[in-house]
Amino acid sequence: MNPIEQNALRAVVDRIIPPDEYAPGGSEAGAFDYLVTMLSGDLAQDAENCRAFLTELGSEFATLPVEAQDTELQRLADSDMHRAFFRRLCEYAQEGFYTSPAGMKMIGWEIKG
């Protein structure tokens, strides 16, 4: 992934799991790093789909206001071409978030023992 694609993916992850007053957003929690690792590992079969998805979002995506980012993501979520991948991408990002210390803490889960 080139730096532009990385910035776009980081921004996407932060719209899937937006930062708020209670918990950090997806990328700060570790879901972006999780995705990058997984796309060259267990999820390598989706790396090309991810690239096509980010290409469709365009090189300016990361600089758009969040409302515009959401609109753009919803457009892709509704498109025949990207619907299935975006659905999977959401699940991957959520996996990254809910296995991160920040995600677990948000819902009151503790690692004991």
Partner 1 sequence: MAKYDVIIIGAGAGGGVVAGILAEAGRRVLLLERGRSESFREIGRDHLRNQRLSQYGVNAGPEPRHVRSVGGQAIRPNHWGYQNNAAIVGGGTRVYGGQAWRFMPTDFKMASTYGVPDSSSLADWPITHEELAPFYAKAEHELGVAGDASAMWHLPTYAADYPMPPTLLNKQGATVRKGAAALGWRTLPVPLAVNTIPRDGRPACIHCQHCVGFACPVDAKNGTQNTLIPRALMTGRCDLLTEVMAEKITIRDGRATSVTYIQLATGERITESADIIVAAGGAVETARLLLLSGLENDNIGRNLQGHYYPGAAGLLPESIWDGIGPGVTTAMTEFNHGNEGIIGGGMLADDFIPLPASFWKGYTPSYIPRWGQKAKDWMRENHQRVLKIMGPVQDIPSPNARVSVDPDIRDAWGVPVARFTGTTHPETVRTSAFMHEKAKEWIRACGATEIWGDPPGLGLSGGQHQAGTCRMGDDPRTSVVDRDCRVHDIENLYVGDGSIHVTNGGFNPFLTIMALAYRTAENIINR
C-alpha 53/C-alpha 82 separation (Å) is 7
Using CA atoms, how far residue 42 sits from 20, 51, 59, 64, 99, in Å, is 30, 16, 27, 31, 16
Q: Closest distance between partner 1 and the C-beta of residue 102, in Å?
A: 11
CB of 76 to partner 1, least distance (A): 11
- Which C-beta is closer to partner 1: that of 80 or that of 112? 112
In the complex with partner 1, the residue whose CB is nearer, 65 or 111, is 111
Name residue, tokens 């930062």: 19
Minimum CB separation of residue 41 from partner 1 in Å reads 8
Site residues, partner 1 (CB under 8 A): 15-18, 20, 22-23, 42, 70, 73, 87, 90-91, 93-95, 98-99, 103-104, 106-113
Cα separations in angstroms, 1 against 36, 66, 95: 9, 22, 21
Instruction: Report the nearest approach of partner 1 to the CB of residue 28 (Å).
Output: 13
Smaller CB separation from partner 1, 65 or 113: 113
User: Could you tell me the CA-to-CA distances from 85 to 45, 76, 89 in Å, in that order?
Assistant: 11, 9, 6
